[in-house]
Chains A and B, each alone.
Chain A
Amino acid sequence: MSQEIFAALMIAALLWPLLLMLREPLMAALVGRGEARFPLDPLWATAPLPALALALLGGDGSLTLSAWLLGGVWVLDEPRRVLLGFTGLLWLLAGWYARGYLAGDGERAVAGNDRAASRLARFALLWPLTLTGNLLLLLAEDIASFYLGFAVMTFAAYGLVIHSGTRDALTGGRAYLIMAVLGEGLILGGLLWGAGSLGTLTLGGLREGLVNLEHGVWIGLLLWLGFGVKAGVAGLHLWLPLAHPVAPTPASAVLSGAMVKAGVVGWMATLPLGEPAAAQGFVELGRAMLAVGLAGALGAALVGVCQRHPKAVLAYSSVSQLGMLAALVGAGLTAPGLWPALAPAVVLFAAHHGLTKGALFLGVGIGEHPPRLPAWALALLLALPALSLAGALGSGLATKWTFKAALYDGGHSGLVAWLSLAAVGTTLLMARTLWCQWQGERQARHNGLMPLSAPMPLAWLLLLASGLLLPAWLPLLGAEGGSPPREELAGLWWPLLAGLALVLPAIWLTRRGVSLAWHRPPPGDLWWPLSRAAGRLVEAARAGGERLAAIKGGWVAWWMELERSGTAALDALGEGESWLRRHAALLTMAVAIGLALVLLFGAA
Chain B
Amino acid sequence: MSAAFFPVATLATSLAAAAIIFLLPEGAFRARTGLNLAAALLKIGLVAWMVRGLSQGHAYAVEFPVLEGLAFVLRADALGIMFAGLSSLLWLFTTIYAIGYLEDSPNRRRFFGFFSLCVASTLGISLAGNLFTFLIFYELLTLSTYPLVAHRGNPKALAAATLYLRFTLTAGLVLMIGMVALHALAGDIRFGQREILAEFGAEQRGTLIAIFWVLIAGLGVKAALVPLHGWLPRAMVAPAPVSALLHAVAVVKAGAFGIVRLVYDVYGAELSHSLGLLTGLAAVATVTILYGSLRALAQVELKPRLAFSTVSQVSYVVLGIGLFGPLGTIAALSHLLHQGLMKITLFFCAGNYAEELGIHRIDELDGAGRRMPLTSVAFTLGALGMIGVPPLVGFLSKWYLGTGAVQAGMPWVIAVLMVSSLLNAAYFLPILYRLWFRPGPDHGVGTWPAERHLGRLETSAWLLLPVVATALFSVLAGLFAGLPYTPLEWATRVANLEYLP
Question: Which residues of chain A have a CB within 8 Å of any CB of chain B?
Answer: 25, 65-71, 114-115, 118, 122, 144, 147-148, 151, 155, 159, 162, 165, 177, 181-182, 184-186, 188-189, 192-193, 195-197, 199, 215, 542, 545
Known: A114-B443, A186-B418, A189-B418. A68 touches B407 (CB 8 A): no
Which residue, B389, B402, B418, has most C-beta atoms of chain A within 10 A? B418
Q: How far is the CB of B385 from chain A (nearest CB, A)?
A: 12
Q: Known: A69-B482, A192-B414. Contact between A144 and B404, CB under 8 A?
A: no
Query: Are the CB atoms of A196 and B406 closer together than 8 Å?
Result: yes
Give bound CA distance, A33 to B306, whole Å.
33
Q: Which residues of the partner chain B approach A197 to less than 8 Å between Cβ atoms?
A: 406
Question: Which residue in B298, B398, B422, B426 is a CB contact (below 8 Å) of A192?
Answer: B398
What residues of A have a CB within 8 angstroms of the CB of B483 in the complex? 67
Interface stretch of the complex, out of B176-184, B188-196, B207-215, B473-481: B473-481
Residues of A within 8 Å of B480, CB to CB, are: 67-68
Closest partner residue, chain B, to A189 (CB atom):
B418
A151 nearest CB across to chain B (Å): 5
Asked whether A193 and B421 contact (CB < 8 A) given A114-B444, A155-B389, A545-B298, the answer is: no
Pairs A-B, 9 closest by C-beta atoms? A192-B402, A196-B406, A196-B403, A148-B390, A67-B482, A189-B418, A185-B418, A181-B425, A67-B480
CB proximity to A under 8 Å, residues B384-418: 384, 388-391, 395-396, 398-399, 402-407, 411, 414-415, 417-418
Among B399, B437, B443, which residue has its beta carbon within 8 angstroms of that of A144?
Answer: B399
Give 19 pairs: A residue, B residue, CB < 8 Å, sorted on A. Answer: A25-B373, A66-B482, A68-B479, A68-B480, A69-B396, A69-B481, A122-B436, A144-B395, A144-B399, A159-B436, A162-B437, A165-B437, A182-B422, A185-B418, A185-B419, A189-B402, A193-B402, A196-B402, A196-B406
Q: How far is the CB of A328 from chain B (nearest CB, A)?
A: 29
- Determine if B482 and A185 form an interchain contact, defined as CB atoms under 8 angstroms apart: no
Docked pose: A122 CA to B422 CA in angstroms? 26
Q: Which of B230-258 contact A (CB under 8 A)?
A: none
CB <8 Å contact, A188 and B418:
yes
With an 8 A cutoff between CB atoms, is B370 at the interface? Answer: yes
CB distance from A98 to the nearest CB of B (A): 19
CA distance A184 to B395 in the complex (A): 12
Residue B439 at the A interface, CB < 8 A?
yes
Q: Which residues does chain A contribute within 8 Å of B419, judged by CB atoms?
A: 185
Instruction: Annotate B413-453 by CB proximity to A: 1 below 8 A, 0 otherwise.
Output: 01101110110011001000000110100011000000000
The contact of B482 among A68, A155, A196, by CB within 8 Å, is: A68
B residues within 8 A CB of A177?
429
Least Cβ–Cβ distance between B60 and chain A, in angstroms? 29
User: How far does the alpha carbon of A114 sit from the alpha carbon of B403 in the complex, in Å?
Assistant: 48
Query: Which B residues form the contact surface with A (CB < 8 A)?
Result: 294, 298, 327, 370, 373, 384, 388-391, 395-396, 398-399, 402-407, 411, 414-415, 417-419, 421-422, 425-426, 429, 436-437, 439, 443-444, 478-483
- The distance from the CB of B314 to the nearest CB of chain A, in whole angstroms, is 21
Nearest Cβ in chain B — how far from A246, in angstroms? 14
**B300 shortest CB reach to chain A, Å:** 13
With contacts A70-B396, A185-B422, A196-B403 known, what are 12 further pairs, Cβ within 8 A? A68-B479, A68-B480, A69-B396, A70-B399, A114-B443, A115-B443, A165-B437, A184-B421, A185-B425, A186-B418, A189-B418, A545-B294
- With A68-B479, A144-B390 already in contact, the answer to whether A193 and B436 are too (CB < 8 A) is no
Q: How far is the CB of B330 from chain A (nearest CB, A)?
A: 11
Which residues on the B side are within 8 Å of A184 (C-beta)? 421, 425
CB-defined contacts of B417 to chain A, threshold 8 Å: 188-189, 192
Contact call B398/A188, Cβ cutoff below 8 A: yes
Bound-complex Cα distance A180 to B376 (A): 23
Cα-based distance from A186 to B417 in the complex (angstroms)? 10
How long is the Cα–Cα vector from A596 to B61 in the complex, in angstroms? 72
Beyond A70-B481, A188-B398, whether A196 also contacts B405 by CB under 8 A is: yes
Residues of A within 8 A of B398 (CB): 188, 192
Cβ A193 vs Cβ B395 within 8 A: no
Given contacts A69-B482, A188-B421, contact A118 B443 (CB under 8 A): yes
Task: Please name all residues of chain A whose beta carbon is closer than 8 Å to the beta carbon of B414 when the two chains form the complex.
Answer: 189, 192-193, 196
Would you call A159 and B437 a contact (CB within 8 A)?
A: yes
Chain B residues with CB below 8 A from A186, complex form: 418
**Residues of chain A with a CB closer than 8 A to B405's CB:** 192, 196
* A196 cross-chain contacts in B, Cβ below 8 A: 327, 402-407, 411, 414
User: How far is it, in angstroms, between the C-alpha of A193 and the C-alpha of B416 when the chains are bound?
Assistant: 12
Q: How far is the CB of A250 from chain B (nearest CB, A)?
A: 19
Q: State in angstroms the CA–CA spacing of A177 and B389 once bound together.
A: 14
